């Protein structure tokens, strides 16, 4: 749960301005007039992967991002990314203005601080500050434009996905067909918006040895458990799919290569230190991971090929490592 902190009643206007003046809703407003309302609003600390708002919630709070980033997603917090909101932006206002429940899920992408403004304070700000009302309208109009574009793309994709199976029956992850299509869509979006997009190829090292030693049923169990751990590890960043056999892929929207390498290395180390708990007992496992980023490639296929080449390099380096590829496809 988010950790709440409330500023003391005697907090100075200068401190409030230093902390909150960069937020979208307060642009152009004299902070002396805001101090009485904002001093009582809690500051929330949210950890990566933590759900702030869930679809269907009866929300009565506007959240301003003081620092960090959140992702707005459909179909659960692991679902289709709708947009990423960064420092200065706000969310939650639509459920108050429309008096409807929350229509999407909001999850923190990193350690995030949120200024929580209750609906009574919001309405007081709207009534007493014309500039605040204008700022709110500008935020809403911009959000609606972005949301409409993303919803149109998302709904078109969903209609297509409904006509084809999209889940791998063994692991419950998305399958290769789904991955190919969503990769193309996210590649176009990240190119259009100038945002990073990273892609990981993950291979379970020496998996044939597991099948030969313990049998294919235990091998399937290892794949299912690995898939679950991989999905949990990547849930705050992106979406995991089964690429085929013992190979998996992770699509990480709005994630630069350095951050993707950190996520991949953390997963590799954690897996190596914590054997897979099967019905026959713990089985040690390691993975080789190849990483690539959209800016280094010229097409969705090129991004996948570059990550695959990086995975091949990781295997040549002796397996159980994370690698990139220096030669673009």
Closest CA to 230 of 248, 218, 253, 216: 248
Residue of 246, 265, 273, 296 with catalytic role: 246
Q: How far apart are CA 307 and CA 193, in angstroms?
A: 22
Asked whether 310 and 261 are in contact (CB, 8 A), the reply is no
Half-sphere exposure of 271 (CA within 13 A, CB side): 29
Asked whether 141 and 133 are in contact (CB, 8 A), the reply is no
Active site residue 247: no
Q: Where are the alpha helices (DSSP H) in the chain?
A: 13-20, 35-38, 93-98, 119-128, 130-162, 176-193, 207-214, 216-234, 257-273, 300-316
In the sheet that 43-46 helps form, which strands lie side by side, from edge to edge?
3-5, 43-46, 112-118, 61-67, 90-91
Look-up of token digits 């907090």: 11
Q: What backbone phi and psi angles, to 5 degrees, belong to 12? A: -80, 155
Q: How far apart are CA 29 and CA 194, in angstroms?
A: 31
Catalytic residues: 246
């Amino acid at each position: 749960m988010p950790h709440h902190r409330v500023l003391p009643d005697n907090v100075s206007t200068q401190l409030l301005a230093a902390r909150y003046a960069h937020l979208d809703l307060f642009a152009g407003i004299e902070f002396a007039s805001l101090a009485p309302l904002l001093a009582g609003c809690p500051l929330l600390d949210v950890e990566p992967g933590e759900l702030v708002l869930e679809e269907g919630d009866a929300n009565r709070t506007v959240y301003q991002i003081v620092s960090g980033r959140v992702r707005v997603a459909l179909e659960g917090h692991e679902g289709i990314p709708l947009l990423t909101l960064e420092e200065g932006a706000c969310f939650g206002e639509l459920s108050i203005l429309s008096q409807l429940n929350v229509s999407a899920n909001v999850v923190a992408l990193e350690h995030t601080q949120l200024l929580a403004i209750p609906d009574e304070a919001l309405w007081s700000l709207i009534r007493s500050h014309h500039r605040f009302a204008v700022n709110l309208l500008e935020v809403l109009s911009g959000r609606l434009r972005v949301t409409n574009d993303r919803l149109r793309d998302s709904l078109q994709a969903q209609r297509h996905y409904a006509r084809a199976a999209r889940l791998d029956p063994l692991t419950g992850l998305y399958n290769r067909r789904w991955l190919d299509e969503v990769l193309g869509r996210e590649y176009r979006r990240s190119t259009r918006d100038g945002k990073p997009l990273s892609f990981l190829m993950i291979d379970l090292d020496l998996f044939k040895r597991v099948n030969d030693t313990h049998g294919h049923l235990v091998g399937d169990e290892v794949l299912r458990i690995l898939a679950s751990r991989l999905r949990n590890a990547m849930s705050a960043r992106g979406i995991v799919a089964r690429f085929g056999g013992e190979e998996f892929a992770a699509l990480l929207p709005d994630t630069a290569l350095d951050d993707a390498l950190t996520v991949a290395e953390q997963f590799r180390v954690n897996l190596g230190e914590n054997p897979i708990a099967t019905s026959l007992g713990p089985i040690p496992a390691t993975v080789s991971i190849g990483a690539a980023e959209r800016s280094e490639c010229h097409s969705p296929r090129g991004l996948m090929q570059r990550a695959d080449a990086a995975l091949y390099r990781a295997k040549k380096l002796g397996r159980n490592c994370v690698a990139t590829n220096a030669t673009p496809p």
